[in-house]
Amino acid sequence: MDIIEKFKKNWDVKEGKYLIDNYNKKTNKEIGKILNRTTSAIANKLHSFKLYKDREFICKIRKKRKDLNIDKELLNKLYYGEKKSIRKIAQEFSVGKTTIEHYFKKYNIKRRNHSEANIERFRWDTPWLKNAPKYIFKKGAEKSAKRWIRKKKNKIKEFEKKNKISFKKFLEVSYLYKKMNLSELGKTIGFGRITVSKLLEEYDIQKRSRFEMMALIKKEDRYQYGKTWEDLFGKKKALIRKKKTSLRSRKLIIKRLQNNEMPFSNTKIELMIKKELKSRNIYFKFQQPLYNLFVCDFVLPQYKIVLECDGDYWHANPDIYNTKKLDKIQQDHLRRDKFKNKYLEERGWFVLRFFESEIKNNTSRCINKVFNVIHNHEENKLQNLKNQDLESNEIRGICV
């Protein structure tokens, strides 16, 4: 009776009682006709009191179309051939959109992405637009840009009238002296963060360095202040985040090294080795990524040889530095070098490392070592081929 009493607000008690008795026996449309109410009003009322229809009843009332013959070929023809949307296909078959989506999942038909669907939906690929001259689009863009500049100027004028201060002075005081960040400034002015940064450039106000900006963000009122990832997300999630960030940074470094964007990619010793290899007609690849983990200075793919040019300090040349008294940077580099060597050697690569002093003293001697490795590699190859021939002859003898 508690539920029926709640119906008194907008409904009669009789209506409420009828709905509770029949919601699982009749459809919302049928109940709506009897009570003179819309189907949405009945649905909302049932939802607010958590009264849901049973699965058996829903299966009974659901229309089952036996005349539907929707094949994969037909859907592909309508969707990709005639370029119709799912909604239009559903209208053709007189079914709901979700029914066609069900068939798409059933037949594993790849759907268009959001931008492609919009092209079809709004007909951007019509012949008129395809053949339209470019100045039409330029004019539209210019008009919208002018409109935005006009709006911006009006906003600035209104701000100056209201606060009785020049806009440039306000920016200088709030940004340089009060040390407000871009988003805070944007909220006070009524602009976005990007617009504020452009305005600072317009008024020749020097922006803060990234270091200063990050230092300002680290305030005590922020929930991240003085906390590690483990404190914020727990050990498991922190590990996942660390792995993701390390992979992202590794990919960026590989990309930068490939495009020669890193300041240390073409060092003197690398150029010396490069010149020597070219003079000896040895085919090589420079700054070559391997297994999406490392970038090797030189790779000889034919012989599976990797050449590394190591700086004396960075890679702790044992002839110069005491291996027991190394700083943290040198220790880190040595640890990485060991991991790199082990990883590549396990996958059949031969790693040769030359120190800076060794290359500068005698570059040709370093390349002679490479030739020795190549010679040994070819001898081993020939020996393996001979062994294979002997084995095959022995097997033939046994078969005979």
Q: Residue 387 has what pLDDT?
A: 62
Q: Residue 397 has what pLDDT?
A: 46
Identify whether the C-beta of residue 224 lies closer than 8 Å to the C-beta of residue 232. yes
In sequence order, what E strands does 111-201 have?
none
Q: Which strands, in side-by-side order, build the sheet including 350-355?
A: 285-290, 294-300, 305-310, 350-355
What residue has token string 């490479």? 370
CA distance 287 to 16: 77
CA distance 291 to 289: 7
Helix (H, G, I), strand (E, B) or coil at 285: strand
CA distance 293 to 295: 7
CB-hemisphere CA count at 13 Å for 354?
A: 25
Among the four given CATH numbers 3.30.565.10, 3.30.200.20, 3.30.1550.10, 3.40.960.10, the one describing domain 266-385: 3.40.960.10
List CB contacts of 209: < 8 A, sequence separation 6 or more. none
What residue has token string 């005349």? 67
Number of other CB atoms surrounding residue 389 within 10 Å: 10
Could you write out the DSSP letters of every residue in 90-107? HHHHT--HHHHHHHHHHT
What residue has token string 């079914």? 95
Q: Residue 224 has what pLDDT?
A: 67
pLDDT in tens, 129-152: 656 666 666 777 788 888 888 988
Is pTM beyond 0.75? Reply is no
Enumerate helices (H) and strands (E) in the chain, giving the number of each.
21, 4
Q: Which two tokens stand for residue 369?
A: 């070592």
List CB contacts of 282: < 8 A, sequence separation 6 or more. 300, 367, 370
What residue has token string 């790849």? 110
251-287 in b/e form (b: 16+ CB < 10 A) is: eeebeebeeeeeeebeeebbebbbebbeeeebebebb
**Residue 92 identity (one-letter amino acid):** E
CA distance 316 to 334: 7
Could you write out the DSSP letters of every residue in 136-149? HHHHHHHHHHHHHH
By CB neighbour count within 10 A (0-12 exposed, 13-18 middle, 19+ buried), where does 333 fall? middle
Per the DSSP assignment, residues forming a β-bridge with 350 are 305
Q: Residue 213 has what pLDDT?
A: 72
By CB neighbour count within 10 A (0-12 exposed, 13-18 middle, 19+ buried), where does 250 fall? middle
Per the DSSP assignment, residues forming a β-bridge with 298 are 286, 307
Distances (CA, A) of 253 to 98, 259, 337: 45, 10, 17
SS3 content of the chain, % helix, strand, coil (to 5): 65, 5, 30
Please, what are the averages of pLDDT over each run of 10 residues along the chain (400 residues)?
55 83 87 88 85 80 72 90 88 86 89 77 58 66 85 90 88 86 85 88 84 68 72 88 86 72 69 88 84 83 88 86 84 89 89 90 88 78 58 46
